[in-house]
Amino acid sequence: MVSMIGLLGGIILLIVLTMKGMNLLLAAPFSAFIVAIFSQLPIFPQLAEEGEASFLTNYMAGFSGFIMSWYLMFLFGAIFGKLMEDSGAADSVSKWIIDKIGMKQAALAVVLACAVLTYGGVSLFVVAFSVYPMALSLFKEANLPRRFIPAALAFGSTTFTMTSAGSPEIQNWIPIEFLGTSPYAGWEVSLLVAIFMMVFGYWWLKKMLTRAVKNGEKFEARDNDPALKRTSLPNPILSMIPLIIVLVISYIFHDMLAQSALILALLGGCIATYILSRTYFQNVWKAVSEGTVGALIAIANTSAVVGFGGVAKATPAFESAVQFMTDIPGSPLIGGALAVSVIAGLTGSASGGQSIALPLLAPHYLDIGVVPEELHRVVAISSGSIDSLPHGGYVVTTIRAIAGEEHKDAYPAFGALTVIVPILGVILAVTLFSIF
- Could you report the average pLDDT of every consecutive run of 10 residues in the chain (436 residues)? 87 80 85 93 88 91 88 88 87 84 83 90 78 83 91 94 92 92 95 97 96 93 70 88 90 82 90 92 91 85 83 86 75 87 78 84 89 96 88 78 84 95 96 90
| pTM (two decimals) | 0.81
Q: How far apart are CA 179 and CA 6, in angstroms?
A: 31
Residue 205, sorted as left (phi over 0), alpha (psi -120 to 50) or beta, turns out to be: alpha
pLDDT at 50: 80
Domain ranges within the chain, ordered by starting residue:
2-219+226-435
Q: How far apart are CA 83 and CA 291, in angstroms?
A: 8
DSSP-derived 3-state class of residue 226? coil
Q: Is 404 exposed, middle or buried (0-12, 13-18, 19+ CB in 10 A)?
A: middle
Q: How far apart are CA 35 and CA 59, in angstroms?
A: 11
Q: How far apart are CA 353 and CA 306, in angstroms?
A: 8
| Half-sphere exposure in the Cβ direction for 385 (13 Å, CA) | 22
Residues in the chain, overall count: 436
Q: How far apart are CA 232 and CA 225, in angstroms?
A: 21
Q: How far apart are CA 344 and CA 330, in angstroms?
A: 22
pLDDT at 140: 84
Between the CA of residue 333 and those of 4, 66, 120, 196, 307, what are the distances in Å? 25, 25, 28, 19, 26
**Distance between the two ends of the chain, CA-based, in angstroms?**
41
Amino acid present at 198? M
Q: How far apart are CA 177 and CA 163, in angstroms?
A: 16
Q: How far apart are CA 258 and CA 255, in angstroms?
A: 6
Residue spans of alpha helices (H) in 315-406 = 316-326, 332-347, 350-367, 372-383, 393-396
